[in-house]
Amino acid sequence: MGRYVVVRLYSMAMTLLGLSVLVFLMLRLVPGTVVEQLIGADAVVSPAMVAELKRFFGLDQPWWRQYAAWVGGLAHGDLGTSWRTGKPVIALIAERLPVTIELTAFAIGFALLLGIPAGIVSATQRDRAVDNVTRVGALLGLSVPVFWQGTMLILFLSIYLRWMPPVMWVDFLTDPRRNLTIMLLPAFCLGTASAANIARTTRACMLDVLGSEYIRTAAAKGLRPRLVVLKHALRNALIPIITIVGLQIGILLGGTVVVEEVFTLPGIGRLVLWSIYQRDYPLTQSTILFVAVMFMSVNLAVDLLYAYLDPRIRY
């Protein structure tokens, strides 16, 4: 397993290197720079002042020198300094990270609580009314855009029910009840598509396992149907389900951009969106790379979990 981990870490490093180049170049394709954002569209500024501002931010240097300076800082553990706030990027990420982690945790918890039982019931009741309803619901969950779903929920709650969750962020440790009230709708919106994906995968894996000979043997011995389904069938169907859950965690981390903007949550996703609007290159680049590291780390942890769930697996 040690060699497998080393190979995976090397692969992650190469992937991050390629991603850093891609993010760096794509940001430069967005029209305008931080200088234009600072002086405004209607400001009257001399060319000398514009040139001085570009020199201050290092934008007068060739792109490869800018990239080398950024990667050199990353190699020494320095994520850079935000151009617009003057704060270290690592400090801004640390401020917003708890919100994103909490939102992702609630969303994946909701997806697991809904998706796995729905998939099990759909598989055990194949081609019946419950199965058809579950499959249609999963299809709708995958089809409805998150931003539309969030907007409709907000409008429905405010117009028809005359209730709106508080919009001012409150930390969980400060006021747990208010925090959970704030997180309820965003987590539901973010986890809907993941729940549908998990339900579909669980159904497919359970149908495959339920047709196995050892399942029929266990049922023939007189074991209770619930024990056969949960202990024998579900356990042997967990590997693909765990894979999907790991991928969904990464997808949810990226999907927080839209949800945090719709529900005005001060998380990393909204920070990235704000930094792109402001053309804050160091903040955007380093934050996206940080999220990528989190996504890859989750996938590596899921892969290592396989050996625990199924002792037959060897790396």
Q: For 253-300, write each residue's pLDDT tens digit.
A: 877 888 888 888 888 988 998 898 888 899 999 999 999 998 888 888
Q: Where in the chain is the domain with CATH 1.10.3720.10?
A: 89-309
What is the residue-averaged pLDDT of the chain? 84
Compute the distance between CA of residue 17 and CA of residue 292 in angstroms, rounded to an integer. Answer: 11
Torsion sign, CA atoms 192, 194, 198, 201: positive
* CATH 1.10.579.10 applies to domain 89-309: no
Closest to 146 in 3D by CA, of 263, 45, 43, 49: 263
pLDDT tens, residue by residue, 4-45? 788 888 888 899 999 999 999 888 888 877 877 777 655 666
Compute the distance between CA of residue 268 and CA of residue 187 in angstroms, rounded to an integer. Answer: 15
Compute the distance between CA of residue 199 and CA of residue 116 in angstroms, rounded to an integer. Answer: 6
